[in-house]
Structure 1
Amino acid sequence: MLFDDIKESLSIIREKELYPKVRVVNGISSDPEIIVEGKKVLLFCSGNYLGLANNDEIKKSIINGLEKYGIHPAGSRLISGTLDIHVKLEKKIAEFKNTESAMVFTSGTMANMGVIPALINLPNLSVYATIKKVFKRNDAAVFSDELNHATIVDGCRLANAKRTIYTHNDMNDLEKKLRSSKEERKLIVTDGVFSMDGDIAPLPKIVNLAKKYGANIMVDDAHATGVLGKNGKGTVEHFGITSGIDIHMGTFSKAFGVMGGFIAGDQEIIDYLRIFARTYMFTGSSFGSLAMGIMKSFEIIENESERRKQLWWNTEYFRSNLHKMGYNTLNSQTPIIPIFVGDETKSIEMADELFENGIFAPCVRWPSVAKKESRIRFSLMTTHTKDNLDYALNILEDLGKKYKVN
């Protein structure tokens, strides 16, 4: 029986202590100091990079949006759910990302899981017109980094194409697989910043390979938008790339402090996705109030560059001190700083002891990462003070010796 098998699997996961411990936050969950299960702790596991998730100006914009647009449009974007604020927001995204057009999704998950299959699963329009060819499965291939986010993985699984996984950030392996590909349509999908390791995709090299082998590129910039680049425009700005990226994906639930996802690109591609990305077509529209909040986030991000500067100061200070202690932070280049532990049990115990000492930085373990690659993942925010960082570093210095991981 199906449910018997599920129960058996769950029993094994619990027996091996692999079931995640979910902490319950009392009240606001995005400030540097929060209350978790009645205990005051320092928050080191949030994507609230620029400290905007509890910003008074953004909250006021959202409240004003509720008064203007009500709770929800109660319709999909293709029926009655497209509000004037959605159109305004999409124009702003395109301007920010230096593209012709953009579209908003209810989340980054919905963006990836709708767009990747839509780009690959071309419609059969032969009933309407004489077309040059009908595309089949063996005409397309998706090339995905082995450490891409789970939503990219799921989007690729939904695509009617050959799925090719290349070794993480290994351009020799990617080129080898592109060279051997017989498929006419090729799509390379990569995270801009990898959420479990905190490293950055080598986009200039990927762009060169795409040009050489006739591939298109989609970049998931969820953890880079608002963070990387002089103006926070993401991985593309970080590298100074002006062309070669076909699809830019991002979220508003991290640096922007709100909620939602987006896709930006050429006008024709966005027009196509509006009628073939199923997670855009067949779901309720995003809240108008949130769109107003995001517009205010854009304003702050563009005008308060000191937030980004402070975030990067915090990041470099924290990571450099971890290195002095002998910790392995993998190849972290961003405010995502993993402390590699390896053993799952040791990682769980270390995270629990951190919590007991007032530091909320849970361990990340299988199935989020490969087995025996467990780590404590720290995420830095601009709102962390030097005292916050020093306190965490002092505790980590002691725990590193105790658990022999530094």
Structure 2
Amino acid sequence: MSRIRVLTHARAAVVAALLAPLAACSSNGSPNTPDGEVTSGAADRPVTVTVTPSGEKAPAGEPVKVTASGGRLTSVTVTDSEGRRLAGEVAADGRSWLSDRKAVPGAAYKVTAATRSEGGTAKSTEAAFTTAEADKVNKVDWRPGAGATVGVAQPISLVFDHPVRNRAEVEKQLKITTSNDTEGSWGWLRDWSGRDRVDWRPKAYWKPGTKVTLNAELNGTDSGADGGWFVRDYKTTFTIGARQIAKVDLDRHQLTLVRDGETVRRIPVSGGTPGGDKRSWRGTAVLMAKEGTINMNSETVGLGDAYDKMVDYSMRLTWSGMYAHAAPWNARYFGNANHSSGCIGMSDANAAWFYGQVRPGDPFEITGKDTKGVVAPGNGFGAWNLSWTEWQQKSALR
């Protein structure tokens, strides 16, 4: 009997020794630990956080990515040297975070990642990196300007200093919002200046009163090839004014201003002289700017020494030099014949009145048998001379 009791006591001691370390790693935690939270113990390994890009002079143009192994990310904050935050979102599984925007050239970033280990330990990890400076910068000239009220045919037009080869990538960064969900599309053109250009036009003329905003989130985008980097964003907002259309009938030598479907005034005019280089363009031209009194010199448009004079109430319709303006020297031809060097001329009184009525973005719908062709998309704002299907094909995202 004594032998049996000794063995029983020995087995009990072994079982107690095996249970002791299990109790130390129990998920019950200490008396002060909330239910469901595991205290740090021997098996609670630290979370490994990885940030890309990393180091100094890292390549720009990619989103910032933060990953965690051995635990989860609970939050990530990325700021540049000026305290601006790079927004992003933690993935549903907590294993990664990706910025909404790309890292921009020549910037210094600080990354703070809050993590929780598999064992429940919360920790904060910091990292930093810099991006290489842009070796070449691409800039943008855009229309219309912020706060403008424009006509129903006004496109949004961006002209680039340097060539754009990554057109699809650039187009993705161009965000258009309107107050009435206007349908439209971007189209890539060669501007009259020879530079790359992208315009956004609606499917049909804008509805009066539409509020429009362009957010060109280009900072950190590479133009591709030798075009350089964009190092800033661009934003413009504008409003569409009344529906005004200038209908120009070169065969009848008459301009009719139509506002909201009603004829406001008919004006006798004289267009470009038939049969040669002085003919006018036809199709839809858009009033680009009201330039007032300017010097017009025929040599600038390839017409030799045909004219060199100061002209009042000048309204630009194309980059190639077609205007509507006062032309008192042609008074005998108004309403009777086309006898200008390609412009649409009218009397001083009618030009003064008309100049006060129209605004940039108003369409001029020009018809006539003897013209030198249709206004090209890049010659001013000639995109309206393409069908909607043709225009959509000019998008890099088609």
TM-score where L is the length of structure 2 = 0.23
Q: More strand per residue: 1 or 2?
A: 2
Structure showing greater radius of gyration is: 2
TM-score where L is the length of structure 1 = 0.23
Larger relative contact order, structure 1 or 2 (CA cutoff 8 Å, min sep 6): 1
